């Protein structure tokens, strides 16, 4: 059985020296340590990647203006109050633009002791607004919809952001106000035309009195041993609830079986993010309790639908034909796979959008191999003598089918390979490290450099607003001119882009509902996204170390805020 505290080892030489000096106490100082296994290691620190595990790492040491709890209820963190129309902090000015006014709480300090002011919020605004400051920062439509940022000349803790026109989702949209990063650290990075990517800060290469980051949160990043672990220590300048553990160690364990074994033998205290089918295995571990948190991720089969990445070696132009992409969906019994590989009753989503936004008549593409064959025939891809689809001398085989090292996803690959073979489509299964699969265009990412045809992974939906992301817009397609884009499937529909812009500026009501319905249909009709399973976020906690009830009550349920209330987690009594 593991103890709640682990002894911090001190060199015997130092102990002896201190004993001789008469200043060493009879027992070494104990510190409490919590060990949380991560199945992926981020390639660098946020905001230079958009990976979930980059955000999860940051959630230990960084907080923002506000956040959402497990029930997706908004709560204030750095602000005196959440802006609203009622309190006058959200208003429409004389020009018809939306103005949100924010006042920071007094007395907040960055982890290095510097005071937090609106000038810190302004530097992050500048980075989001000015694309020349970074090629990898995710901006969405921020530079397009923000007109002005201003600090109150009479109050250095108050600032306002003006959004173009009506902007009803100002608190929840990707373009919402944020204030995560210190101006005295980030500002020098972009002086004289500098870019964030040139700073060693984002790979743990700077030192701030023994810490790797300057941030506002319950912990600070103290160590990053690349390929092994991250270590967080308590932030002495944190003014929120004191965390239960002095130190959090985050080992990187990419193999799911190794993760379970690590929890079983006491090497870690918390495992999370594993799939539904593993719940019985985790629940069977002594002194372990499993917890399901509502999720926003759906694992899906993605299809590269654009021209970039085509080659005769990998099916030629086949995937550009919507009939082929639809046929692939009909060729796979996705409901049975979810039942057999995951768990009975697991939902297989019809659309990337949250179910609450699906039109009632939006059809699920059911398993129908005869229809799949018919669609392929209609598209001109007919069976040759080897049983492989062929058109104009190009065979529909050797499609590059990629995903990460994940037991469940790898099993899905094998079964999908068999299903597609039955209708004459061949695939080449490839397992790619997450840091390579999801890397940016500039960093040679597999997806963003179009070295794939089919893929399995999850991309979170926005559970708080009906707007989409640049990941599904024409301007999001990665290229040398757009290296921070992440639309490698190349879904590009000008009407869809127009609809999303209209949704973002239309007040809730029937008009907006109609726009959302049309957008959801157009996204579905692209046939590049086919849901495999709607995921809960599972946690397995050692109840001799952690109070599981505190985990259930204080875990975020959005895309990457799962540890956003780690300071409320309690040690086992």
Model pLDDT for residues 290-304, shown as the tens digit of each residue = 999 988 999 999 999
Structure tokens that stand for 237 in this block: 């300048």
Q: Which of 49, 54, 89 is nearest to 177 (CA)?
A: 89
Beta bridge partners of 234: 219
Burial 213-234 (b: 16+ CB within 10 A, else e): bbbbbbbbbbbbeeeebbbbbb
Segment among 12-26, 323-337, 559-573 with least mean pLDDT:
12-26
Instruction: Provide the percentage of residues in the chain whose pLDDT is more than 70.
Output: 95
Domains by residue range for the chain, with CATH: 32-46+217-295+536-568 (3.40.190.10), 63-189 (3.90.76.10), 298-534 (3.10.105.10)
Q: What is the pLDDT of residue 462?
A: 87
Show the DSSP H helices in 362-444 as ranges: 369-378, 407-422, 434-437
CB 221 within 8 A of CB 211: yes
Structure tokens that stand for 103 in this block: 């006042």
Model pLDDT for residues 124-180, shown as the tens digit of each residue = 999 999 999 999 999 999 999 999 999 999 999 999 999 999 999 999 999 999 999
Q: What is the pLDDT of residue 484?
A: 87
CB 267 within 8 A of CB 416: no
Structure tokens that stand for 415 in this block: 């079964």
Tell whether the model's pLDDT for residue 530 goes beyond 60.
yes
β 5-7/30-35 pair status: antiparallel
CB 558 within 8 A of CB 374: no
Long-range own/partner contacts, residues 208-214 (CB < 8 A, 24 or more apart): 208/111, 208/112, 209/112, 211/111, 211/112, 213/45, 213/61, 213/62, 213/111, 214/110, 214/111, 214/112, 214/114, 214/182, 214/184, 214/185
- Dihedral sign (CA 304, 309, 315, 317): positive
- Dihedral sign (CA 265, 267, 271, 276): negative
β 389-391/158-163 pair status: unpaired
Once rounded to an integer, what is the mean pLDDT over residues 485-504? 96
Once rounded to an integer, what is the mean pLDDT over residues 218-222? 97
- Return the DSSP state at 28: P
β 298-303/270-274 pair status: unpaired
Q: Who's near 261: CB < 8 A, 6+ residues apart? A: none
C-alpha Rg value of the chain to the nearest Å: 25
Question: Residue 60: left (phi > 0), alpha (psi -120 to 50), or beta?
Answer: alpha
Q: What whole-number distance in Å separates Cα of residue 398 and Cα of residue 388?
A: 11
Once rounded to an integer, what is the mean pLDDT over residues 329-345? 95
Any idea which residue has 């985990």 for tokens?
551
- Averaged pLDDT score across all residues of the chain: 93
Once rounded to an integer, what is the mean pLDDT over residues 95-107? 98
Q: What whole-number distance in Å separates Cα of residue 442 and Cα of residue 480?
A: 8
Q: What is the pLDDT of residue 29?
A: 58
Beta bridge partners of 407: none
CB 473 within 8 A of CB 487: yes
Once rounded to an integer, what is the mean pLDDT over residues 179-185? 98
Q: What whole-number distance in Å separates Cα of residue 267 and Cα of residue 258?
A: 10
How many Cα neighbours within 13 Å face the side chain of 50? Answer: 24
Q: What is the pLDDT of residue 294?
A: 87
Task: Provide the 10 A C-beta neighbour count for residue 552.
Answer: 15
Q: What whole-number distance in Å separates Cα of residue 470 and Cα of residue 140?
A: 6
3-state secondary structure 251-298: EECCCHHHHHHHHHCCCCCEEEEECHHHHHHHHCCCCEEEEEECCCCE
End-to-end CA distance of the chain: 14
CB 132 within 8 A of CB 193: yes
Task: Provide the 10 A C-beta neighbour count for residue 517.
Answer: 18
Q: What is the pLDDT of residue 4?
A: 34
Q: What whole-number distance in Å separates Cα of residue 467 and Cα of residue 357?
A: 11
Structure tokens that stand for 172 in this block: 């929840």
CB 349 within 8 A of CB 298: yes
Q: What whole-number distance in Å separates Cα of residue 319 and Cα of residue 327?
A: 10
Concatenated DSSP letters of 423-447: TT--EEEEE--HHHHT--TTTT-TT
Q: Which of 397, 396, 378 is nearest to 322 (CA)?
A: 378
Q: What whole-number distance in Å separates Cα of residue 204 and Cα of residue 188?
A: 17
Once rounded to an integer, what is the mean pLDDT over residues 374-390? 98
Burial 370-382 (b: 16+ CB within 10 A, else e): ebbbebbeebebe
SS3 content of the chain, % helix, strand, coil (to 5): 30, 20, 50
Model pLDDT for residues 7-64, shown as the tens digit of each residue = 333 333 333 333 333 433 333 458 999 999 999 999 999 999 988 999 999 999 999 9
Q: Who's near 202: CB < 8 A, 6+ residues apart? A: 44, 45, 48, 196
Beta bridge partners of 291: 539
Tell whether the model's pLDDT for residue 524 goes beyond 80.
yes
């Amino acid at each position: 059985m593991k103890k709640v505290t682990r002894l911090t080892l001190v060199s015997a030489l130092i102990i002896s020296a201190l004993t001789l000096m008469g200043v060493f106490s009879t027992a070494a100082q104990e510190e409490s340590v919590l060990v949380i296994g991560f199945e992926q290691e981020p390639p660098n620190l946020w905001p230079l990647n958009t990976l979930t595990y980059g955000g999860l790492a940051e959630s230990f040491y960084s907080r923002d203006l506000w956040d959402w709890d497990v029930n997706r209820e908004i709560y204030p963190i750095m602000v005196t109050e959440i802006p609203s129309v009622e309190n006058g902090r959200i208003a429409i000015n004389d020009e018809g633009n939306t103005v949100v006014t924010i006042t920071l709480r007094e007395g907040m300090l960055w982890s290095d002791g510097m005071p937090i002011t609106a000038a810190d919020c302004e530097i992050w605004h500048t980075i989001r607004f000015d694309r020349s400051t970074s090629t990898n920062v995710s901006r969405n439509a921020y530079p397009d919809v923000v007109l002005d940022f201003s600090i109150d000349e009479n109050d250095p803790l108050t600032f306002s952001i003006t959004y173009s026109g009506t902007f009803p989702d100002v608190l929840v949209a990707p373009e919402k106000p944020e204030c995560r990063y210190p101006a005295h650290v980030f500002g020098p990075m972009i002086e004289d035309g500098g870019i964030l990517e040139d700073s060693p800060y984002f790979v743990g290469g700077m030192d701030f009195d023994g810490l790797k980051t300057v941030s506002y949160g319950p912990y600070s990043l103290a160590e990053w041993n690349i390929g092994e672990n991250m270590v967080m220590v308590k932030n002495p300048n944190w003014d929120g609830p004191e965390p239960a553990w002095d130190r959090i160690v985050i080992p990187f364990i990419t193999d799911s079986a190794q993760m379970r074994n690590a929890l079983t033998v006491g090497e870690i205290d918390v495992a999370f993010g594993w799939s539904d089918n593993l719940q019985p295995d985790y629940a069977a571990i002594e002194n372990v309790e499993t917890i399901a948190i509502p999720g926003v991720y759906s694992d899906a089969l993605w299809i590269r639908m654009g021209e970039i990445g085509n080659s005769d070696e990998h099916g030629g132009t086949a995937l550009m034909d919507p009939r082929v992409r639809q046929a692939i969906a009909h060729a796979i019994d996705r409901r049975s796979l979810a039942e057999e590989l995951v768990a009975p009753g697991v939902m297989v989503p019809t659309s990337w959008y949250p179910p609450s936004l699906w039109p009632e008549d939006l059809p699920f593409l059911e398993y129908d191999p005869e229809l799949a064959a018919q669609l392929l025939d209609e598209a001109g891809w007919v069976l040759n003598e080897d049983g492989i689809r062929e058109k104009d001398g190009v065979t529909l085989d050797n499609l590059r089918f990629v995903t990460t090292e994940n037991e469940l996803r790898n099993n899905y690959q094998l079964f999908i390979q068999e299903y597609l073979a039955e209708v004459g489509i061949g695939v080449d299964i490839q397992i790619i490290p997450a840091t390579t699969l999801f890397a940016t265009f500039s960093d040679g990412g597999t997806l963003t450099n179009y070295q794939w045809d089919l893929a399995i992974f999850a991309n979170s939906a926005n559970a708080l607003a009906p707007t989409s992301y640049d990941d599904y817009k024409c301007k999001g397609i990665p290229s040398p001119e757009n290296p921070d884009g992440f639309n490698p499937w190349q879904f590009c529909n000008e009407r869809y882009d127009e609809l999303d812009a209209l949704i973002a500026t239309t007040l809730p009501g029937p008009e907006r509902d109609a726009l959302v319905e049309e957008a959801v249909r157009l996204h579905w009709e692209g046939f590049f996204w086919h849901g495999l399973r709607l995921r809960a976020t599972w946690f397995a906690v050692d109840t001799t170390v952690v109070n599981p009830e505190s985990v259930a009550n204080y875990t975020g349920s959005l895309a990457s805020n799962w540890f956003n209330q780690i300071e409320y987690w309690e040690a086992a009594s």
